[in-house]
Structures are given as structure tokens and as C-alpha cells.
Amino acid sequence: MSLFAIAEAVRIGASSAVNEVDRALARIRDANGTLNAATRLLADRAFADADAIDRRIALGEDVGPLAGVPFGVKDLFDVAGLPTTAGAGMRRDAAPATRDAEAVRRLTAAGALLVATLNMDEYAYGFATVNAAHGTTRNPHDPARLAGGSSGGSAAAVGADLLPLTLGSDTNGSVRVPASLCGIHGLKPTHASLPMQGVFPFVDSFDDIGPFTKRADELELVWRILGGAGTAATASPRAARLGGWFLADSDPDFVPALDAIGELLGGLPEVELPEVARARSAAFLMTAAEGGAFHLPTLRSRALEYDPATRDRLIAGALLPHAAYAAAEAFRAWFRAQVAALFERFDVLVAPAAPCVAPLVDDPVIEVGGQRVPARANLGMLTQPISFIGLPVVTVPLRRPGQLPLGIQLIGRRGDEATLFALAKQLEAVGITGYSAPRSA
């Protein structure tokens, strides 16, 4: 059922918020043994909040556009009364949060009901949701495959239709990659445009929160509730496809999909971003340096409590010389100017979100330049250059019933999410993109 249908049913009394919570929790319990999407179920809180929503509706109150809609959050959002683990076993006994993260507060103020926290890569450092403390989240379209990361639990929960709405975070692609692999819509907003208060940090230069939904109009509504604002949508946007780096190692099925988008829009010329491989490398360097610096005090006292795969990358980042970080920042200013010049000619850039379908859990690699490389570090190769300069992206799933999902990035200039949502809804309306239920659903 869509987010809109749930809210309408609750408002008119065809369902109740309590019933919707009960159904959501039952779906998660039934599926979580296979998917491992949820880390904690918040049944007591959810039922109490749902009862309050139902009583307010009975009194004739407007409880908001998300009336009775159950949702979950990546396990790095503060939830009052619980430790914020950021996916780390070493934080299970952290002091409980004193209040909800601001994004959670805004959704609950709109009538939504928090029912679960969701799995992620430890400290959001990875693209796979392979977690030493909580296990691996599996793809709803094929549990033998990865869900992507680091917001894999959030994406899998929506992709499997366990929840109509979840929140994740995106530093280098942690919303866009799992949205692509799980066949759903996801948003990486303009950097620093949505509230980060109460979200465990990773890399301040790139960190953003973002929602997952099945439909583009649902994603737009949630963005607005979270505080999204900006320019009005551009009518008849000029669009181009990103070639070179973005297509060289990508699934060949992207080409006919991009051609179909071009036919719809009256053309989709191919352009290339300059020095895009260098942009990705600079993003890697800044990520490692900032993440390492943030974790350095804890690494000095509790290094052995980290997942070794996370610990070693953070230590390497903490050892990077400041001159290397400064060079990456200087390059970022140049790269941002080059891409801004491209947006003088086009309103939207279109590119694959992840280069391939979800890799196998037992063989977690992808092929880049003819070489097999680890998926955990490389699934974000097409997303990192975009978050490097803070641009908004709506990820949309190609319409592929019965096949493993592939996702497309719709990339806009800063503050122009509205144009991306308008295009996403247009592509969905003609059937080029859209959610396809897993074959086992």
C-alpha cells in the first residue's frame, strides 16, 4: 500500500494507526530472519504514539499528511531513550539519546510512527551493509545478494514493502547505492539543506540525510516535510547523460534506458565531467581524513572494539597529512566550477547510480576496468563525484519487472530538487522508471 493510501485510510477511519503499526511490525518480524534489515523494533513506542494519533483523529484533529504511516530510521539517528549505535557493537551501551533527531521529530509531527531502527555499515563506512555486530542485510529481490550501503537496512525495508518510508544518510552514495540495488526511490539532497541535528556524524563535508520510498511523489512529500525548499521546477528541463567514467564499467542495460529518456525529453546528449576519476579519489581522501580525525580519540583508547575493516580505514585516514587534504579541497573548488559551467547548458544530468546489479553476498566484488574489486569500497564509484560537490540527486529505479534492479541518478544544480522530482514523476508516469515488487513478494 502506498504512503498516501495508508494516511488517507487512517484519516477516514478505514484503518487505524494502531492497525498500521501492528501490520508493519508483523511484516518486519516475518521477513527479518531472511533480510536482516531491522536492528531494533520499537513496538511500545509505536503503539503508544499510534493510540495518540487515533484519539486525536476521533476528536476531529488534523494529525498531518503522514497520519499513521509507519517508518524506520538508519541506526545513526537519535531515538529518545535508546543508545545511538551508528551500527557499531561497541556503542550498544552508549548513553541513551535524550531526544529524537530533528528529522524524526519532523516526521512524527506530520503523523508518522517510528517502528524500527535499521541496519547499516559500521559508522556508515561502506557501500554493502556488511556489519560485524548485526550481520549482513540482504537484498529483497534476491537474498543471496547485497542490499548495498551504508543505508542498506533502510533500503531493503522499503524494497521488500516492509515499510512505506525510511530514513537513511548519504555521504558518498549511501542512499543512492542501496536505492539502486533494491529498486526504490531515494534522495540525496543539496548538501546541508536538511536537518542533521541528532544524526551521528561521519564526514561533515559530505554528510546528508535522505528518505527512501517506493514512489517519486511520496519522496517529494517527505522531502518537503523534512524542510526541503528551493526554486520552482524548471518546465521542459534540458537534460544530458553523463558518459565516459559513468558508462565505461556500467551494465549495458543502462543504454536503452537512457535512450528512452532521451526520446521522452527530445534528446539526451552525452557529456563528460572533467577529471571525474580524480574527483572520486579526492572524495575518498577527504572522507578518510575527516572520518579518521573524528574517530581518533576513540581509536586511541578502544581500537580493538571496531570492526577491523572499518578500523584500518579510519586509522589510515587519521595518518593522512594535512597538505593532502588541502590539495583535495582546492581541487574540489575547481571541479565544482567546471560542473557549474555544465549546468549553464543543462538543468539535469542523468547517470547510473551504481554500475551493476547487486553483487552476491558470497562473492562481494564488482568489475572495474577489467579487474575484480571489493564491492564494499567501490559500489559508490558513480555517486562519490556528485556528493563531492554537494549536488542534489533523486535516484529512480528503472522499470524491470522480474529482473534485478538498476537505478538512475537524476542530478541537479544546488537547490533545484523540484526539477528532479518533476522529472522523476514524469519518467514514472510513462513507465520508464518505477518500483517493481520482488519476485517472491
Task: Catalogue the active-site residues.
Answer: 74, 150, 174
- Are 172 and 125 within 8 A, CB to CB? no
Distance (Å, rounded) from C-alpha 367 to C-alpha 373?
6
DSSP state of 105: H
Tell me the sheet residues that pair with 169: 209
How many residues comprise the chain? Answer: 441
Instruction: Give 312's contacts (C-beta < 8 A, 6+ positions apart).
Output: none
State the sign of the Cα–Cα–Cα–Cα dihedral 157, 69, 211, 235: positive
Distance of alpha carbon 49 from its chain centroid, rounded? 26
Distance (Å, rounded) from C-alpha 195 to C-alpha 178?
21
H or E element, residue 139: strand 138-139
Q: What is the DSSP string of 340-369?
A: HHHTTT-SEEEEESSSSSPPBTTB-EEEET
83 burial via Cβ count (<10 Å: 0-12, 13-18, 19+)? middle
Q: Which grid cell sits at 407? A: 537505478
Count Cβ atoms below 10 Å from residue 426 Cβ, excluding itself.
16
Interior/surface letters 119-152, b for 16+ CB within 10 angstroms, e for the rest:
bbbbbbbbbbbbbbebebbbbbbbbebbbbbbbb
Number of DSSP helices (H) and strands (E) in the chain, helices first: 15, 17
- Are 161 and 27 within 8 A, CB to CB? yes
